[in-house]
Amino acid sequence: MSDAKVKELIKKRGSFKAKLTHFSNFLKFLPDTELDSFQTAELQSRLSLMQILYKEYDVLQTELEILSENADDMYAEREQFEAQFHAHVARAQTILVPVRASSPALESAISTDALQHRGPDCRHDFVRLPKIDLPHFDGDYQHWLEFRDTYISLIHVNSSIQKINKFHYLRAALKGSASLIIKSIDFKADNYDLAWQLLIERYNNEKILINNHVQALFKFEHIKQESCSQLRNMIDVTNKNIRALLTLGQSCEHGGLGETLTIYIMSEKLDRATRREWEEYKNNLDSFPTLKEYIKFLNNRADFLDSLNYNRNTTFSNNTNTKYSNDYNKSKTYHTIITKPKPTYNKDDIKCPACSQNHFLFSCQTFRNLDIESRFKKAIESNVCLNCLRPGHTAKRCSLSHCKYCKVKHNTLLHKDSSTEQQAGHSVALSTNVTLPYSDTNNFTILLSTALAKVSDVNGELHTVRLLLDNGSTSNFVTRELCEKLGLQKTKWQTAGQDLKTGTMVLVRDANLPPLLWLLGRVVAVKTGSDGHCRVADVRTRKGIITRAYNNICPLRVA
């Protein structure tokens, strides 16, 4: 009888260990940055459940130590479990430290939980709780885990709240189809457990929950164009569903198959420009990226697009105030869009010139093991682009980024310090900046000749286009409509911004005010984008430090 009892208790102890492992996996996927309100509530809910878990484990382990003939093994088992438990709880409490000071609601929830565990002598029949906004649940399985964990932590396991009050909280929190489940139950204290059990039986279905969270990843809408808001939405959806799957016991280990599939599924939803940046970023890594690195890439990309969007909006508003800003708009800057067909490759046709396997040269480990001179010689012999190490074009016509060390048009794998100046001679300027002085001139007409020509699109089909010929022009332009018709890949090249330095006295342009009322300030910092260009600066004014784009900053000439 004793042996059977011990085996049963050991099985129950295994369940406690699994729950502790799930809590550990949840902590691994928390972001390094500050938590949002949902993540904070979820972490506090799980932390409260861990306190209850330890009490139950302590009772079970004590019984095992009494029944077991080999008590030393049981004591070692307890020591191992408690070491892991306290380490995970300490980490969770450390994460919550910066949040508690600024969140009275969280402090109230912690105080309530502490009161609950003091014992029966310190409890009262009625405790007046501070106002806590409980999440509502409308029957959507996507929101069930959030609602369940928060409600259990704050209300269900709080024995200081009478059951009639718990029933009231439950009815107030349920909306839509979820409220219909308990609508027919009489509102009295004895029926609270029945109402909660009916809700658990309906929505706490692991198979349905897992299926819904996996579907949310697969059915995420494809991002059609660059958008910081849609990228951040992708980050939120990915994090939310991954955390939910971890809660449901689904493993997503670092570098495992689940993490790899998640990265592949979500990267397929990216717009073309961001997908290209991701592939370039991935190719520069020595190993396949982790989900954490993928999320970090999306965050950086969203911040970059957000900065560009801010500059675009402020530029548009400035155009409406030309009445007061003519003194500061003495020149116009034009940007050239350079287009080229996007190369396509069939994986079966790709053959590495170094090892004859089906991958590009830059992915070949045999090629990477060579010294710099041997790599350079092998790349030339293989007749590949020296910038991207792919066949079919030259470095002059390559649209990918240059060496990250010396900014010269060659691959980072071919970089050597002594050849920087020599390689710089092979680089080709692909952008054209045209600066025209501002002046008032009389209107006159110039007749330019035109010609008809046939050009091929990315599929090789010919299209008839009209060319405008200007012998005096030093720039080439093509309409956006023709680019889209031919399926060409577009790359925008920015001209260099104005020379702003730390300490420069400036005026901060305001579209809603005349120039005499613009803020006077001094530049305290300039910010460099991921492409190496400075477009934004921090300016100290009488209203504090503000961040503005270069086209909203007017430098003052100090004699």
Q: Are 120 and 188 in contact (CB under 8 A)?
A: no
Provide the CATH number for the domain around residue 539: 2.30.30
Q: Are residues 37 and 155 in the same domain?
A: yes
- Neighbouring C-beta atoms of residue 524, cutoff 10 Å: 13
Distance CA 258, CA 29 (A): 14
Report pLDDT for 367. Answer: 86
Would you say residue 115 has pLDDT above 60?
Answer: no
Which candidate, 385, 387, 441, 447, places its Cα nearest to that of 412? 387
Q: Is the CA virtual torsion 375, 377, 383, 384 positive or negative?
A: positive
Q: Are residues 182 and 41 in the same domain?
A: yes
363, part of any domain? no
- Looking at per-residue pLDDT, the higher value among 530 and 378 belongs to 378
Q: Are residues 85 and 194 in the same domain?
A: yes
Q: Are residues 33 and 153 in the same domain?
A: yes
pLDDT tens digits along 434-444: 344 444 445 55
250, part of any domain? yes
Distance CA 559, CA 548 (A): 25
Structure confidence at residue 334 as a pLDDT band (50, 70, 90): very low
Q: Are residues 200 and 226 in the same domain?
A: no
pLDDT tens digits along 29-81: 777 667 777 788 888 888 888 888 888 888 888 888 777 777 778 888 888 88
Q: Are residues 152 and 70 in the same domain?
A: yes
Q: Which DSSP string do the residues of 86-136 spell out, in sequence order?
A: HHHHHHHHHHHHHHHTT-HHHHHHHHHHHHHTS-GGG--S---PPP--PPP
255, part of any domain? yes
Distance CA 111, CA 105 (A): 10
Distance CA 290, CA 282 (A): 10
Q: Are residues 67 and 138 in the same domain?
A: yes
Question: Domain range for residue 547?
Answer: 496-555
Give the phi and the psi of residue 110 in degrees, each rounded to 5: -70, -40
Structure confidence at residue 433 as a pLDDT band (50, 70, 90): very low
Q: Are residues 44 and 157 in the same domain?
A: yes
Would you say residue 227 has pLDDT above 70?
Answer: yes
Distance CA 333, CA 338 (A): 16
Report pLDDT for 62. Answer: 84
DSSP letter assigned to residue 223: P
Name the CA radius of gyration of the chain, rounded.
32
Q: Is the CA virtual torsion 244, 245, 248, 253 positive or negative?
A: negative
Which candidate, 16, 87, 101, 1, places its Cα nearest to that of 55? 16
pLDDT tens digits along 139-161: 888 788 788 888 888 888 888 88
295, part of any domain? yes
Structure confidence at residue 380 as a pLDDT band (50, 70, 90): confident
Q: Are residues 203 and 233 in the same domain?
A: no
Which candidate, 167, 165, 100, places its Cα nearest to that of 128? 165
Would you say residue 406 has pLDDT above 70?
Answer: yes
pLDDT tens digits along 533-543: 788 899 999 88
* Count of domains for the chain: 4
Would you say residue 339 has pLDDT above 60?
Answer: no
Domain boundary among 148, 176, 207: 207
325, part of any domain? no
Average pLDDT, the chain: 76
DSSP letter assigned to residue 326: G
414, part of any domain? no
Mean pLDDT is lowest, of 207-216, 263-272, 500-509, for 207-216
Would you say residue 410 has pLDDT above 60?
Answer: yes
488, part of any domain? yes
Structure confidence at residue 210 as a pLDDT band (50, 70, 90): confident
Q: Are residues 24 and 150 in the same domain?
A: yes
Q: Is 251 left (phi over 0), alpha (psi -120 to 50) or beta?
A: beta
Q: Are 260 and 267 in contact (CB under 8 A)?
A: no
Report pLDDT for 546. Answer: 93
- Looking at per-residue pLDDT, the higher value among 420 and 239 belongs to 239
Q: Which strand (E) or helix (H) includes residue 519?
A: strand 519-528
Mean pLDDT is lowest, of 349-353, 469-473, 497-501, for 497-501
Q: Are 154 and 166 in contact (CB under 8 A)?
A: no
Domain boundary among 463, 492, 521: 492
Q: Are residues 185 and 236 in the same domain?
A: no
Q: Are 352 and 360 in contact (CB under 8 A)?
A: yes
503, part of any domain? yes
Tokens of 200: 């658990």
Q: Are residues 15 and 91 in the same domain?
A: yes
Domain boundary among 308, 325, 353: 308
Distances (CA, A) of 235 to 31, 238, 289, 291, 505: 11, 5, 16, 11, 40
Structure confidence at residue 132 as a pLDDT band (50, 70, 90): low
